[in-house]
Amino acid sequence: MSETVERKKRILSGIQPTGTFTLGNYIGAVRNWSKLQEDFECLYMVADLHALTVRQVPAELRRHTREAAAMLLAAGIDPKQSLLFVQSHVPAHTQLNWILCCNSQFGELSRMTQFKDKSAKHPDNVNGGLFTYPALMAADILIYNADLVPVGKDQTQHVELARNVAQRFNSAYSPTFTLPEGYITKEGAKIMSLAEPTKKMSKSDTNLNAFILMTDDADTILRKFRRAVTDSEGVVRYDPAEKPGVSNLMMIYNVFTGKALAEIEAEFSGKGYGEFKDAVGEVVANALAPIQGEYARILADKDYVDGVLKDGAAGASRLANRMVEKVYKKVGLLQL
Ligand code: AMP
Ligand code: TRP
C-alpha cells in the first residue's frame, strides 16, 4: 500500500453497530461494498465509536459489533481482499479526530441535518460527540486517504464536510489529505420506511413494521411487505412524490430483479397491490436467504470473526499511524 507508486483507488466506509442491519443498510451501502472489492483497495469499518453518540447498553453494543462484522462477511466482504475492522481498535482515528475537530467550524457542524434530527429525537442527550460526529467520520476517511466513500444518501453531507475539512487543512499546512468523494448508487440510495414512506427506513424506528431486518425470516418479510403503506390509486406506477410507498417497493423490486421501472409497471399493470407486494416480498426473501445462512454459520465461529477483526485492525493501524504521525508533525506537535 505505497503512497507514491500508482495505486488502485482506495475506498473506506463504515456502519454503526446499533442493531441488526436493515434492508436499507444493505441496499444503500453494504450490497455495494462487496462489489467494489475487485476494482478498489477497500477498508470497511464497524463504527462503534459513532454508536456511542446515542446511549447504548454496553453488553448489547459488544454483541452488535461482532454481529455487524459477521453480517458484513456474510454479505460478501472478503477479508483476503479487504481490511475489515472495528473503529475503536484503531486508536489513530480518535487521535486524528481531535486535530480535525480543531479544523472544523461550529457553523458547519451546526448545519448537519443528522445533528439536527438526532438532537430533536434525543433532546435529553444532545452531547458533544453528537455534534462533532462528522469530524470523527472525516478522520475515518482522511486517515486512509480514501478516494471514494460508498454510503447512502443520508451520509453525503458528512462526506462533503470531510472534503471541506481536508481542503482547509491542505491549504493551511500543505497537501496532506486526498479529497474524498461520496459514491452513491442511483438505485436504492434511500430506501424508505414501509410504514411511513416519506421517512427513511431506519433500524432505530419504534414501529417494527417500518423496516425489514437482514435476519427476518421469509414469513416475516412477506407479512411486513403485505402491511406496507401504499395509496388508494391501485396502480403500480413510479412517482416518488405522489406515490412514495409504491415507488419505494418498486425500487426494492428493481434492485433484486434488475428489471427497469417501466418493465415493473408493465408486469403489474391491471394487477392489484396485493400481488405486487407478495412479489416484492418473495424476491427479497429469496435474496436474503443465502446471506442469512452464511451469517448463522459465520457468527457461530466467534474465533474466526475475532481473528478477521484482529488482522483488520493491525493492517488498518499500520496505515493510520503513519498518517497521524505526519499530521502531528505538520501541525507543530513536538516529536522526540
Ligand atoms: P447507519 O445505519 O446509519 O450506520 O448507516 C449505514 C449505511 O447504510 C450508511 O451508508 C447509510 O447511508 C446507509 N443507509 C442507512 N439507512 C438507509 C436507507 N434507508 N436507505 C439507503 N441507505 C441507507
Ligand atoms: N456515519 C455513518 C453512518 O451512520 C457511519 C460511518 C462512520 C461512516 N464513519 C464512516 C461511513 C466513514 C463512511 C465513512 O452511516
| pLDDT tens digits in sequence order for the chain, 336 residues long | 545 556 799 999 999 999 999 999 999 999 999 999 999 999 999 999 999 999 999 999 999 999 999 999 999 999 999 999 999 999 999 999 999 999 999 999 999 999 999 999 889 999 999 999 999 999 999 999 999 999 988 999 999 999 999 999 999 999 999 999 999 888 778 999 999 999 999 988 899 999 999 999 999 999 999 999 999 999 999 999 999 999 999 999 999 999 999 999 999 999 999 999 999 999 999 999 999 999 999 999 999 999 999 999 999 999 999 999 999 999 999 999
How remote is the CA of residue 21 from the centroid of ligand 1, in Å? 9
CA 14 – CA 284 distance, rounded (Å): 24
Confidence (pLDDT) at 1: 52
Annotated active-site residue 203? The verdict is yes
Ligand 1: nearest atom to the Cα of 201: 19
CA 41 – CA 234 distance, rounded (Å): 46
Annotated active-site residue 302? The verdict is no
Confidence (pLDDT) at 3: 52
Confidence (pLDDT) at 5: 58
Pocket test for ligand 1, best of 33, 155, 184 (most atoms within 8 A of CB): 155
Which residue of the set 8, 35, 118, 310 is catalytic?
118
Confidence (pLDDT) at 7: 76
44 forms beta bridges with: 13, 84
Q: Whose CA is nearest to atom 10 of ligand 2?
A: 14
Pocket test for ligand 2, best of 10, 11, 12, 13 (most atoms within 8 A of CB): 13
CB count, 10 Å around CB of 248?
26
Which residue of the set 190, 200, 224, 302 is catalytic?
200
Pocket around ligand 2 at a 6 A CB cut-off: 12-16, 47, 50, 137, 140-141, 149, 151, 155
Q: If 0-12 CB within 10 Å is exposed, 13-18 middle and 19+ buried, where does residue 80 land?
A: exposed
Residue in 330, 333, 320 with CA at minimum distance from that of residue 169: 330
Ligand 2: nearest atom to the Cα of 136: 9
Which residue of the set 8, 203, 243, 259 is catalytic?
203
Q: Is the CB of 265 under 6 A from ligand 1?
A: no
How many C-alpha atoms does 63 have within 13 Å on its Cβ side? 8
How remote is the CA of residue 15 from the centroid of ligand 1, in Å? 8
Residue in 83, 20, 9 with CA at minimum distance from that of residue 320: 83
Annotated active-site residue 200? The verdict is yes
How remote is the CA of residue 206 from the centroid of ligand 2, in Å? 22
